[in-house]
Copies of this chain bind each other. A is one copy, B any other.
Amino acid sequence: MDFRAIGRQVSNWGRWDDGDARDERGTTNLLTPERIARGATYIRTGRVFDLGIPFGPDGPQPGGGRINPVLLFSETGAGQRFPGAFHYADDYVFMPLQSASQWDGLAHVYYDEQLYNGFPSSSVGPRGASHCGIDKQAKGVAGRGVLLDVASYRGVDWLDMGEVITPDELDAVAAEQGCAILPGDVLAIRTGWRKKFLAEGDPNAFMAGEPGLGLACCPWLAEREVAAVCADNWAIEVLPGELDDEMLPVHMVLIRDMGMTLGEILDFEELATDCAADDRYEFFFCAPPIKFRGAVGSPINPLAIK
């Protein structure tokens, strides 16, 4: 498989440019007002499922490139001597923006010295990306969401590290669930990898690899005009990957060529149980990124509302 060829096939470069204004949003452009309004019609009972994981010392980062968030209080209320009765607490955090539930922005990954839509890789400097920052996704991501519960489809608690999810399997899961995939959908791929972490509590095992999408899913996503993909693993795609000599090819194709924002390290456990119970796998999905200027990611806590 030549990931560059797949990249060219699914490329959205130029597609949403508006005269001189070059697009920096990618496939979230597919979230048109009409589709967002349609997505809202999937709110029936008002039950809410929070798909973000907790941010704290018990997170999935083993250290190294990324660490778990460090929360420290600048004020606890103790020792304060204000006039009257008032006391307050205040807190700081130091964290990698991609240490827990998060969007991968479009400047997160590149190859051949170009970001999505042809912006030069030199757009990314030590204090921010001058193009394709996560703040460009300020208005989203909101729309119709569909859970594709691959682990349940297979009848396992979780897929194993290195197991590839194929387009055929995605179709089969959707068919079994009775779901159509519609243009502008946000897909939530459940591999069980989060469930495994919850069972084992081992960050090193969580990060050592994962089951996930194979390269062949990229055209499948492009054909269906999917707006965004998120998953309960940490990289969407299968690891170790399908190519011997390329790292994270699905990232390269989806983010850099297709312009797709990816949601990682989410928790679909409660949602999946509910979907199985009421046999309804569609919902309204709402996951606004925090508007960090020029960042390549953002912490999120996506809500699925049924």
Q: A: which residues have CB within 8 A of B?
A: 3-4, 32-40, 43-50, 52-58, 63-79, 82-98, 101, 107-112, 121-122, 124-129, 135, 138-140, 142, 243, 245-249, 251-252, 284, 286-297, 299-303, 305
B96 touches A74 (CB 8 A): yes
From B79, B93, B142, give the contact of A122 (CB < 8 A): B79
State in angstroms the CA–CA spacing of A245 and B84 once bound together: 6
Contacts of A91 in B (CB 8 A): 96-98, 128, 292, 295-297
State how many angstroms separate the Cβ of A204 from the closest Cβ of chain B: 11
Contacts of A49 in B (CB 8 A): 139
State how many angstroms separate the Cβ of A212 from the closest Cβ of chain B: 16
Assuming the A-B contacts A40-B40, A89-B107, are A47 and B76 also in contact, with contact meaning beta carbons closer than 8 angstroms in the complex?
no
Assuming the A-B contacts A37-B46, A94-B93, are A74 and B126 also in contact, with contact meaning beta carbons closer than 8 angstroms in the complex?
yes
State in angstroms the CA–CA spacing of A12 and B297 once bound together: 38
A294 touches B71 (CB 8 A): yes
* Further pairs besides A73-B73, A86-B111: 11, Cβ < 8 Å: A34-B46, A37-B45, A49-B139, A55-B293, A74-B96, A76-B78, A86-B109, A86-B252, A142-B286, A288-B301, A290-B299
A248 touches B74 (CB 8 A): no
A247 touches B121 (CB 8 A): no
A71 touches B36 (CB 8 A): no
A65 touches B55 (CB 8 A): no
State in angstroms the CA–CA spacing of A207 and B54 once bound together: 27
Contacts of A288 in B (CB 8 A): 50, 52, 286-288, 300-303
Contacts of A138 in B (CB 8 A): 50, 52, 301
Contacts of A72 in B (CB 8 A): 72-74, 92, 126-127
A36 touches B305 (CB 8 A): yes
Contacts of A56 in B (CB 8 A): 128, 292-294
From B36, B128, B301, B302, give the contact of A48 (CB < 8 A): B36
From B35, B85, B107, give the contact of A46 (CB < 8 A): B35
State in angstroms the CA–CA spacing of A45 and B39 once bound together: 11
A46 touches B69 (CB 8 A): no
B73 touches A290 (CB 8 A): no
Which residue in chain B gives the minimum CB-CB distance to A243?
A: B84
* Most chain B CB inside 10 Å of its own CB: which residue of A37, A68, A92, A248: A92
State in angstroms the CA–CA spacing of A92 and B128 once bound together: 10
Which residue in chain B gives the minimum CB-CB distance to A57?
A: B64
Which residue in chain B gives the minimum CB-CB distance to A64?
A: B57
* Most chain B CB inside 10 Å of its own CB: which residue of A3, A58, A87: A87
A293 touches B54 (CB 8 A): yes
State how many angstroms separate the Cβ of A2 from the closest Cβ of chain B: 11
A290 touches B55 (CB 8 A): yes
State in angstroms the CA–CA spacing of A246 and B58 once bound together: 27
